[in-house]
Amino acid sequence: MAEFTKLIHKYLRHDKKFPHVWCPGCGNGIFLGALIRAIDRTGFEKDQIVIVSGIGCSGRISVYVDFNTLHTTHGRALTFATGIKLANPKLQVIVIMGDGDATAIGGNHFIHAARRNLNITAIVVNNSIYGMTGGQYSPTTPYGATATTALYGNIEHAFSIAELAAMAGASMVARGTVYHANLLDELIEKAIVKRGFAVVEVISHCHTQYGRRNRMGGAVDMLRWQKESAVKIDKAQTMTAEELTGKFTIGVLEDRDLPVYTHEYNKIRDAAKAMLAKAG
């Protein structure tokens, strides 16, 4: 039996009514593979892991995996995750969101979660479009691209999710693609074991809604685009701004040790108890 088949048997739900909702060729399948390989490498028990997801195509991942799973309201996944982590810091909380989910409707929660620095792993699967609702422009749709709500071309400018997370104060920020699957395994694993708020932006593709409309071809063509546009972060440092135009960096973009919220809160508990004892 192939190694990965064993992981499928171990981590995918047996009692779930498959098939899944994703289109053939979707990047979510590759991401799901990377996620369970990474979780397996960390060695955490299934009972210890909570997968919290938002709404959209990537949000459906929580249904398929055999952990404690929570499929929340649109954009709010990080708020639910915050409550779970605070109530039981021993749980490993992994949040899976889409680009619209994390940076449009959930944009405020995203930057505040990064600033707050709970020990949570946040993964944003970025396919530059609202896929499930049929191809509307999202906060990461490039300028000039077309979408069902931007037939004349998108006049808004895209967020860089990883850079946004770093500026907002996340402890660790990484970006990968579903084309660079081995790297993605490593980045997700690093983010899970990182103490503090760790963000992984996963560049994915939606050939059904985005690629077709923007003449980028099918799933394979869009994977090829990821291969050609991604530049490893250490290589990017040797390149000029001109050479980097139209490219994006992959790898660990930020990794720093900052005070973790639950650790800080324990100090507050001690201070409060001491004050109460003093007051008698």
Partner 1 sequence: MITAKSRGRQLLLQGNEAIVEGALAAGCRFFAGYPITPATEISEVMSYRLPAAGGTFIQMEDEIASLGAVIGASLAGTKAMTATSGPGFSLMQENLGFACVAEVPCVIVDVMRGGPSTGLPTNVSQGDVMQARWGTHGDHPIIVMAVSTTQDCFDITVKAFNFSEKYRTPVIILSDEVVAHTREKIFLPHPGEIEVLDRIRPNTPPEWYIPYEDNPRGVPPMGIFGDGYRYHVTGLLHDVRGFPTQRPDEIIPFMSRLFRKVNQHFYDIQVVEEESTEDAEVIVIAYGSVSRSARRAIREARKRGTKAGLVQLMTLWPFPRQILEPLLRRVRAVLVPELNMGQVSREVKRINQGATRIETLNRIDGNLITPNEILVRLVKL
When the beta carbons of 50 and 230 are compared against partner 1, the nearer one is 50
Q: How far is the CB of 62 from partner 1 (least distance, A)?
A: 7
Q: Which is nearer to partner 1, 87 or 241 (CB)?
A: 87
User: For residues 109 and 180, which CB has a smaller minimum distance to partner 1 in the complex?
Assistant: 109
Shortest Å, Cβ 41 to partner 1: 20
Choose between 114 and 222: whose C-beta lies nearer to partner 1.
114
Q: Closest approach of Cβ 92 to partner 1, in Å?
A: 10
> Minimum Å distance from CB 133 to partner 1?
15
Query: CA torsion, points 131, 136, 77, 199, in degrees to nearest 10?
Result: 80
Residue 69 CB, nearest distance to partner 1 (Å)? 5
Q: Which is nearer to partner 1, 16 or 247 (CB)?
A: 16
User: What b-and-e string marks burial along 242-275, b requiring 16 or more CB atoms within 10 Å of the CB?
Assistant: eeeeeebbbbbbbeeeeebbeeeeeeeeeeeeee
Q: Judged by CB, which is closer to partner 1: 60, or 205?
A: 60
**CB-wise, 65 or 253, nearer to partner 1?**
65
* CA-based nearest residue to 187, from 10, 35, 27: 35
| Rounded least distance, CB 75 to partner 1, Å | 8
Q: Minimum Å distance from CB 115 to partner 1? A: 9
Binding residues for partner 1, rule: CB under 8 A, are 15-17, 46-48, 50, 52, 62-63, 66-73, 76, 78-88, 90-91, 108-109, 112, 265, 268-269, 271-273, 275-276
Q: Which residue has the tokens 């546009």?
A: 229
